[in-house]
Amino acid sequence: MYELMLNLEEKAKKCLYEQIYEHMKGEIQRGNIRCGERLPSTRLLAKQLDVSRSTAQLAYEQLLSEGYIESVPCRGYFVCQMEELYHLEPEILPKAEQEVSAPADVLYDFTPNGIDLDHFPYAVWRKLSREVLQDDQKELFHLGDPRGEYALRSVICTYLHQARGVNVQPSQVIIGAGNDYLQMLLSRLLGTRRRIAMESPTYRHAYEIFRGLGHDCCTVSMDQYGMDVEALRTSGADIAYVMPSHQYPMGIVMPIKRRQELLRWAEEKEGGYIIEDDYDSEFRYIGRPIPALQGNDTHQKVIYLGTFSKSIAPAIRISYLVLPLSLMDKYEEIGKRFSCTVSRIDQRILQLFMERGYFERHLNKMRALYKSKHDVLLAEVRQMKGVRRILGDRAGVHILLQMAGERSEEELIRRAREAEVQVYPLSEYCIDDRAYEPTVILGYATLTEEEIRRAAERLASAWEM
């Protein structure tokens, strides 16, 4: 019988039974106690180690639970027959790591993906979050409706109706943690291997996600009015992914005629759908916001995708999907299984933020702010030598520049980078290999007006040479 050699530490952090358990487990793992070997009874073990019998019992219980030893009635405890002696092989331990931070050789970054967070109403957000957490509201910590909170969906409907001309009921709204997730969910509702038509250039991320989910994504040519519906018809696609209010990155607004043609296509196409990505319809500098395509959809063919990433902040991670009635059965069947991915606390904060008018005020403030940055950048760019065309300057938070001369995007970007200014290539958004004019993208949301001026000066001299 095996006799335990163990110095117990009375004052150790680990209690006595744990010390015994760990010692014996180690001995078994190292092969020092052989399989099949009989172990002392709990009474004997207690005596050997000078501990109470219940301590010995606890140690054995744990070894029993994990399957290292077994208890044979009337005979005692034995080390289990393992498949083989259990030698831990040297582990491929991942290297210890540290957080990596971004390189800092860019002074002015015209990223088209950022937003201005200097003017976020932190105090309001804090106040609302305090209020939401105030009353120990238990139910907020229980799992909620898979579609998201009714109250939030309801206030989103009101907003969509007023601001976007979208007519829906709360049951059609699905809250989700960002567009990526909602695209995954939508993909489940649409079924496998759909043929999805996209413009090029487009929001490349959506393209990659749909393709990654096994869909067949094709590109359809685009003219000054947006996706070419004739080309769409011959593409064999049954789903069209468009951004009619403000195409990204080209900034094209789809006129009513093209919208009608597109809707007609979807009506005629068996199983046809239009995915309307209405990602930044809020920021328009001339006139009112362009209404959503969804508002003209009389045949339940438009799937509307909205987000608060641009209008509030990307990190709050709240987007929503508005399903046409024709997809509601599919949602009930499949989609409801997926729990809502946004915390109920965050949903409640956003609900109050919208209900109490903070959202509208914030949008108005940001619209004025972005307009003023927009005007500064436009004024600078218009003075710049060699600018051939400015595109997409009526809405959104970026513009596109085409320069005179033969310079490639790479060269324009390289020269800008040498002046510590980062601008972005249009080619990043192109998902086909059609030839197009070298174009750079300048996002101005994250820069201050003064920074925009200084950066534009640097660009002017970098591109002049």
Q: Of 313-352, which residues contact its own copies (CB under 8 A)? A: 313-317, 325, 334, 337-346
Which of 75, 287, 382, 435 binds its own copies (CB under 8 A)? It is 287
The pair of three-digit structure tokens given for residue 56, joined into one six-digit string? 């010995």
- Report the nearest approach of its own copies to the CB of residue 175 (Å): 11
Distance separating alpha carbons of residues 313 and 278, to the nearest angstrom: 16
The amino acid that residue 288 corresponds to is: R
Q: Which stretch binds its own copies (CB under 8 A): 271-279, 284-292, 378-386, 419-427?
A: 284-292
Are 239 and 203 contacting, i.e. CB atoms less than 8 angstroms apart?
Answer: no
Taking CB under 8 A as the binding criterion, the range among 309-317, 370-378, 421-429, 456-464 that sits at the site for its own copies is: 309-317
Chain residues 215-254 in contact with its own copies, contact rule CB under 8 A: 225, 253-254
Residue nearer to its own copies on the CB measure, 90 or 357 = 90
CB of 210 to its own copies, least distance (A): 11
The sign of the dihedral angle between the CA atoms of 164, 293, 111, 350 is positive
Least distance to its own copies from the beta carbon of 409, Å?
Answer: 23
Give one word for 314, left, alpha or beta, with left for phi > 0 and alpha for psi -120 to 50: alpha
Binding to its own copies (CB under 8 A): which residues in 89-118? 89-97, 99, 113-115, 117-118
Minimum CB–partner distance for residue 332 and its own copies (Å) = 13
Other Cβ atoms within 10 Å of 90 Cβ, number: 5
Q: Is position 21 an interface residue for its own copies (rule: CB under 8 A)?
A: yes
Do the Cβ atoms of 69 and 77 come closer than 8 Å?
Answer: yes
Q: Which of 1, 11, 72, 134 binds its own copies (CB under 8 A)?
A: 134
Residues 349-378 that bind its own copies (CB under 8 A): none
174 dihedral zone (left: phi>0; alpha: psi -120 to 50; beta): beta
Identify the H or E element spanning 217: strand 216-219
Nearest to 197 by CA among 225, 233, 223: 233
State phi, psi for 2 to the nearest 5 degrees.
-70, 135
83 versus 105: smaller Cβ distance to its own copies: 83
422 binds its own copies (CB under 8 A): no
Specify the 3-state DSSP secondary structure of 140: helix
Q: Which of the residues 155 through 194 are near its own copies (CB under 8 A)?
A: 167-172, 177-178, 180-181, 184, 188, 192
